[in-house]
Amino acid sequence: MGFCTDEQHRQFLELCPQIDKYAVDGGIMLITIWLEVRQEEQEKRFSVRINDPLRQWKLSQIDLESSRGWYDYSRARAIKPETTARLNCISHILQLIPFNKVSCSEVKLPKRSNKH
C-alpha cells in the first residue's frame, strides 16, 4: 500500500525482535497473535458492506485496496512471524496465563412455586 519503503520494512523486521526482547527483559509478558481472515470471508464481508448502505461506513479506501493486494499481504504476513513471532498462539497463551481451579459448591435448581 506504499506506507513505507522496502528499506523501512527491512529495518522494521530487524528492530521488532530487539524491541520485543527489551520488553520481555523488562518484565512485560508479551503475547503476539496474528489473526487472519480467509479471502472468501473477506470478500463476503466486503460484498455485504458494499450492498448495505448502513454498513458502507465500515469500508475505507484502504479496505478496498487491500482486496487488490491480498497475495502481497499474504507473502508479507508469512515473513513477519519468521522474524518476530514468539508463540504457538493459543496453546502457548494458555500455558502463560496462571490458572487456579476455583472450588465451588454444588448447584441445585430449586423447585418452582405453585401456579396461582
**Cell numbers at 112, concatenated:** 418452582
Determine the pLDDT at residue 26: 94
Q: Residue 111 falls within a domain, yes or no?
A: no
Half-sphere exposure of 52 (CA within 13 A, CB side): 11
d(CA 47, CA 56): 10
Q: Residue 106 falls within a domain, yes or no?
A: no
Number of H helices, E strands in the chain: 5, 0
Determine the pLDDT at residue 87: 45
What's this model's pTM, rounded to 2 decimal places? 0.47
Q: How many domains does the chain have?
A: 1
Determine the pLDDT at residue 80: 63
Minimum mean pLDDT range among 3-12, 62-71, 86-95: 86-95
Identify the CATH number of the domain in which residue 39 sits: 3.40.50.300
Q: What is the pLDDT of residues 22-70, one digit of tens each?
A: 998 999 888 777 777 788 888 898 899 899 989 888 888 888 887 888 7
Q: Residue 92 falls within a domain, yes or no?
A: yes
Q: Residue 59 falls within a domain, yes or no?
A: yes
User: In terms of residue numbers, what domain contains 54?
Assistant: 6-96
Q: Residue 60 falls within a domain, yes or no?
A: yes
Q: Residue 103 falls within a domain, yes or no?
A: no
